[in-house]
Structures are given as C-alpha cells and as structure tokens.
Amino acid sequence: MNDSELIRAARQARRHARAAFSKFKVGAALETADGTVITGCNIENATYGLTICAERVAMFKALSDGHRRFRRIVIVADTSAPTPPCGACRQILWEFGGDLEVILANLRRETGRHRLSALLPIPFDARLL
C-alpha cells in the first residue's frame, strides 16, 4: 500500500471513532512488515479514563491477530495542526512496533512525518529490565 492509500485507510477508520465526549475523532492505520494494514479508531468511555486511542486500538488488534513486525503507522485527525501520538501510545508503539515511521495527516493532506525514536527519545523498554 502506498502512502496515500494508507492515509485513506486511517481516514476511513476515523469514521468509526466513538468520541461522544471529546468529539475529537482519530483514525490510525498500522502497516505490518508483510504489508497487512490494521486500522483503529479512538474509543471513549463515560468514565473518561478508560478511553483508548486509535493507535493503541490498531496495535492491540494487530497483536491479537498474531502480527509481530511493523513498518509504519498513519494517524489522522481533523485538525490543521499535526496530531502526534500521546505519551502512552508512544510507549506501546515503541515496545511492540520498534522504530516505526509515524505519518501524521488530516482530512486533506499529510501534516508531519517522524521516526518513533525521535518522538520517544531515551525510551524505557524490556532491554532495561
């Protein structure tokens, strides 16, 4: 899948977001090493704290389907400023996905592109246990 197809998949996933409280809908499309694309959207909860971001939904779906190696992830929100992954997602993406390419986009265009290692410098992970 090329970049624009992966961005389109994340935009499509965003439409399924359950964001009744924040109204801030996010979609993610995670590409595995073999080219499989697994999507996610944010899912909020009336207790707020149980909310899970689009990126973690995508990663947990992928892991539970048996995927283990990943190349990149697209994150889409309807904002002109880039929507980078939150700290919790950076940690989960790093631990299970390694140094992913992180592509940020909105409904019209790409808004940023980073290596996860640049977003999470000096990470804590299993190598330090």
Contact residues: ligand THU, CB under 6 A: 19, 22, 24, 26, 42, 44, 51, 53-55, 75, 83, 85-86, 89
User: Which residue, among 85, 3, 82, has the nearest Cα to 40 in the 3D structure?
Assistant: 85
Q: How far is the CB of 68 from ligand THU (least distance, A)?
A: 23
Strands 26-32, 37-41: pairing kind: antiparallel
User: 55, 95, 101, 110: which one is catalytic?
Assistant: 55
User: Alpha helices, DSSP H only, in 1-86?
Assistant: 3-14, 54-64
Q: How far is the CB of 34 from ligand THU (least distance, A)?
A: 25
Q: How far is the CB of 127 from ligand THU (least distance, A)?
A: 25
**How far, in Å, are 39, 55, 60 from residue 46 at the CA level?**
23, 20, 21
DSSP assignment letter at 24: -
55 in catalytic set: yes
User: Which CB, 34 or 54, lies closer to ligand THU?
Assistant: 54
Residue numbers annotated as active site: 55
